[in-house]
Amino acid sequence: MSATVTPDTAKATKKNFLNALKEALTEEMERNPMMIIQGEDVGLLGGAFGVTEGLQEQFGTHRVVDMPISEAAIIGSAVGMALNGMTVVCEMQFIDFISCGFDQIVNNMATYHYRTAGEVNMPIVVRGPAGGYSGGALYHSQMNEAWFANSPGLQIVCPSTPSDAKGLLKAAIRSGNPTIFYEVKNLYRDSKIAEDLPEGDYLVPLGKAAIRRPGKDLTYVTYGQNVYHCLQAAETLAGQGIEAEVIDLRTLVPLDEATILESIKRTNRLVVVNEAPMTCGFAGEVVARMSDLAFEYLDAPPVRVTRLDTPVPWVEPLERYVLPSVDDIVNAGLRVAKF
Amino acid sequence: MSATTVSAKEGHKPPHQLLSKEDCLEIFKQLFLARYFDVRLIKEKKRGRLKGTLYSSHNQEAVIVGSLYGLESTDWISPIHRDMPGFFLKDAKFRWRDENRIGMSIKEVCSQVWGRSDSPGRARDNWSHIGRRSANIIHSTSMLAGTIPVAAGVAYADRMKGGNAVVVTYNGEGSTAQGVFHEAINYAAVHKLPVVTIIENNQWAYGTPTHLEYSLEDFARRADGYGIPGLVADGQDVFDVYDKVMEAVSFSRAGNGPSIVECKTFRAYGHGDHDDDRAAKYRPTQGVEEGRKRDPIAICRAKLLDWGYLSKEEAGLYMAEGKGSAQTTNEDFPPEVVEYLNEGIEFALASPVPPAEEGGKWVFKEIS
Ligand SMILES: Cc1ncc(C[n+]2csc(CCOP(=O)(O)OP(=O)(O)O)c2C)c(N)n1
Ligand SMILES: [Mg+2]
């Protein structure tokens, strides 16, 4: 895996999350003539959210392909293309619809390298808009990363900033491993997080977490839009004299255990936050691993803050009720801090 | 049985010829009702009184009205995002307000659209994902074509109960690419289940034209592959839709199994109202103008005039056709249509938003 290139801020311009993704796709398409993008409405329309806008004009209809509404064909054909030497980025119109291509992912794509004793690589990224807090209801709000974390062979990535979105997407495309790439749709056009993107061939290594805020009293581990909720919670706690560290995992599989462990060694307290349901969710995995690796450093039982074990309902008060709030995160922080 | 024989029987009268004048006028009025629902909701959104996305059925009303009109009260339906008016038009013939009909009321549908507690699902899922078991309306998910196997199961259960219901499912032509579309119809064919799969072929699946969705002239040919009848209707002509769906429904009710009815129509505006501006870019203007020309209200009006069911003077009233929602006013619709929707909207606005804690309820049936 290539190392992080130092950003050349002098030449950079402010970009939002969506533009960062588009830039990553454009650069990788230019770099690799055997790479294609396929999905529903990615060409003529330029994607439901516009991530691929302009790419079909630039690369042609045979490289930016409008597919029939069949997630199984979108992903299954990518497996064949990869088998025959291509690199494929598959767009799910919403990540929720990935369920319709589930078999091709977990049984075919995820296991190919394994069952061929390493003969075959699967340079495929299945990416799409994800997440709640958006009034999207049951089928336009999901974070279903746990389904795939439980399927060995899949890398799972969930960036929270434009530059990570760019660097991680490029790294995932080049990694040669199949990747499920969660894009927080709420962040796509969020101008508050728009930033100067490093120019040049900017890659962010997979499996490396980022510390978004340093702290000494407790550690929040999270990813996706909950990063911003944890930063807000840390701000609130700081007002009460509690310094929380915020770790953005960025990559779930492979997991950067070392960064979390090192943090716990300093803070001795752990709160893990994810917006998916609690039972068998990724937060539980982090807690389990740290209960093992960091037991001797923990001064309080690790705590999870997650969605209730429910679907994501539509209307706002109900949606907010089931999803983790900043208050929930603050309270969990207080609970471990005061244990 | 070959694909098109059902409608080609010698000396067979098209079902719509058996409709009374009153029926034909009711059908005409239901077209207005469907159109008004659409334009009114867009207006409500523009006024800022409503959130959410409307997948407009403007110009596709004949498919909904024509397919529902001949059904029995006890039949089941599964409308999806494009078919919002179908929820309140089921079993509505001459009795829009009858609380005992087996269908949803305009009050329930508006409560759903506005996200209020008087929606049957208490606004837990959005706009088009409604239904009510006691209204014989199947609740869809977002996953396209996902209601067809459910429809087949409903049909199976009805047969187990000794019923005689037919289940009518609605699907866009784009959704026919889903594996479950094939799997479900194949199953229904094997078990001769009374499932009528309507394909609303509006020529576009979001930003994708039909030649990139499937490689067929008529979906009737796909029916051949399952050994079931496939019919093609002019989706702009409410009476042709009525005829073809009635053929299919009678075939199913007689115990012969499922069928496919393709209704050829045209999506007049964006995929959803959020997409209107982009649609203007990805769709050639000429094709759109062409597609909007055959307005189902105008076609129905001309027939009623021709059959003498409308006088020249009556036929000159309520010109809702050929206009976008912005150009349309309440005067373009029969007053009872406007009144019906007003009732629904007023009811919805008075209905409370469900309490937040309901978000945590009903994951499981409570075991006492
Ligand atoms: C399994 C699945 N994939 C993708 C989508 C996203 N999506 C919603 S509507 C739509 C287009 C549907 O086209 P069509 O079936 O022709 O129906 P229309 O909207 O034209 O009535 C798409 C791709 C979805 N709802 N379900
Ligand atoms: Mg369509």
Domains and CATH numbers, chain B: 3-352 (3.40.50.970)
| Facing A45 at nearest CB: one of B143, B177, B207 | B207
**Averaged pLDDT of chain B:** 95
Sort out which chain B residues have CB atoms less than 8 A from A310's CB and list them: 359-360, 363
**Contact status, residue A49 vs residue B158, Cβ threshold 8 Å:** no
pLDDT range class, residue A12, cuts 50, 70, 90: low
Residue B291 CA to residue B267 CA, distance in Å, equals 8
Query: Of A41, A69, A98, A142, which is best to mutate to test ligand 1, by the most ligand atoms within 8 angstroms of its C-beta?
Result: A69
Mean local confidence (pLDDT), B176-201:
98
Token pair 């870019």 in the structure block, residue: B281
Predicted pLDDT at B2: 41
Q: Closest by alpha carbon to B322, among B292, B300, B299, B290?
A: B292
Q: What is the pLDDT of residues A72-105, one digit of tens each?
A: 999 999 999 999 999 999 999 999 999 999 999 9
Structure confidence at residue B10 as a pLDDT band (50, 70, 90): low
Closest Cα partner for A171 from A84, A58, A251, A80? A251
**pLDDT tens, residue by residue, A263-311:** 999 999 999 999 999 999 999 999 999 999 999 999 999 999 999 999 9
Cβ neighbours of residue A149 closer than 8 Å, sequence gap 6 or more = A156, A252, A253, A282, A285
Residue B157 CA to residue B138 CA, distance in Å, equals 14
The candidate with the shortest Cα–Cα distance to B2, out of B289, B267, B229, B207, is: B229
Question: Do A138 and B356 count as a contact with CB atoms less than 8 A apart?
Answer: no
Q: Cβ of B125 and A137 within 8 Å?
A: yes
Ligand 1 proximity of B214 Cβ (cutoff 6 Å):
no
pLDDT above 70 as % of chain B: 97
B204 Cβ below 6 A of ligand 1: yes
| B263 CB-near residues (< 8 Å, 6+ apart) | B62, B63, B66, B67, B198, B199, B200, B201, B233, B234, B235, B241, B244
Put simply, whether B216 touches A (Cβ < 8 Å) is: no
Q: What is the C-alpha separation between B320 and B333, in angstroms, rounded?
A: 6
Q: Give the pLDDT confidence of B325-354 residue by residue, as tens digits.
A: 999 999 999 999 999 999 999 999 999 999
Chain A touched by B330 (CB under 8 Å):
no
- Give me the mean pLDDT over the A182-186 stretch: 98
- ipTM of this complex: 0.95
Inter-chain touch A45–B278, beta carbons under 8 Å: yes
Distance CA B368, CA B361 (A): 15
Stretch 89-148 of chain B: residues touching chain A, C-beta under 8 Å? 115, 123-126, 129, 141-144
Residue ranges of the domains in chain A? Answer: 10-203, 210-337
Is the predicted pLDDT of residue A326 greater than 70, yes or no? yes
Among B123, B206, B360, whose Cβ lies nearest the Cβ of A314? B123
CB B356 within 8 A of CB A316: no
Task: Report the pLDDT averaged over residues B48-68.
Answer: 96
Asked whether B142 lines ligand 1 (CB < 6 A), one says: yes
Q: Are A170 and A23 in contact (CB under 8 A)?
A: no
pLDDT at B11 over 90: no
Residue A2 pLDDT = 42
The predicted-structure confidence for B108-160, as pLDDT tens digits, reads as follows: 999 999 999 999 999 999 988 989 999 999 999 999 999 999 999 999 999 99
Written as six digits, the tokens of A152 are 């060995």
Residues within 8 A of B (CB atoms), A 174-193 only: none
Other residues' Cβ atoms within 10 Å of the Cβ of residue B45: 16
Q: Is A91 in the pocket of ligand 1 (CB under 6 A)?
A: no
Query: Using the 8-state DSSP alphabet, how is residue B138 labeled?
Result: P
pTM of the model: 0.95
Same CATH fold assignment for domains A10-203 and A210-337? yes
Helix, strand, coil distribution of chain B in percent, nearest 5 = 50, 10, 40
Index of the ligand 1 atom closest to the CA of residue B200 = 21
Q: Would residue A62 show up in a list of annotated catalytic residues for this protein?
A: no
Residues 6+ apart with CB under 8 A from B10: none
Nearest to A100 among B124, B143, B208 (CB): B143
**Mean pLDDT of chain A, nearest integer:** 96
DSSP B57-72: -TT-HHHHHHHHHT--
C-alpha gyration radius of chain A = 20
Contact A197, A20 (CB under 8 A): yes
Please state the rounded mean pLDDT for residues B74-90: 98
Q: Does residue A36 register a pLDDT over 70?
A: yes
* CATH architecture entry for A10-203: 3-Layer(aba) Sandwich (3.40)
Q: Is A156 a residue whose pLDDT tops 80?
A: yes
Position B1 pLDDT exceeds 50: no
Give burial (CB, 10 Å; 0-12/13-18/19+) of B312. exposed
What is the rounded (10 degree) CA torsion for B17, B19, B23, B28?
A: -20
Gyration radius (Cα) of chain B, Å: 20
For A193, counting Cβ atoms within 10 Å of its Cβ (0-12 exposed, 13-18 middle, 19+ buried), the class is middle
Per-residue pLDDT at A8 exceeds 90: no
Mean pLDDT of A211-218: 98
- pLDDT tens digits along B246-280: 999 999 999 999 999 999 999 999 999 999 999 98
**A210-337 has which CATH code?**
3.40.50.920
φ, ψ (nearest 5 deg) of residue B24: -65, -40
Instruction: Inform me whether the pLDDT recorded for A188 exceeds 70.
Output: yes
Query: In the predicted model, is pLDDT for residue B82 greater than 60?
Result: yes
A143 φ, ψ to 5°? -120, 100
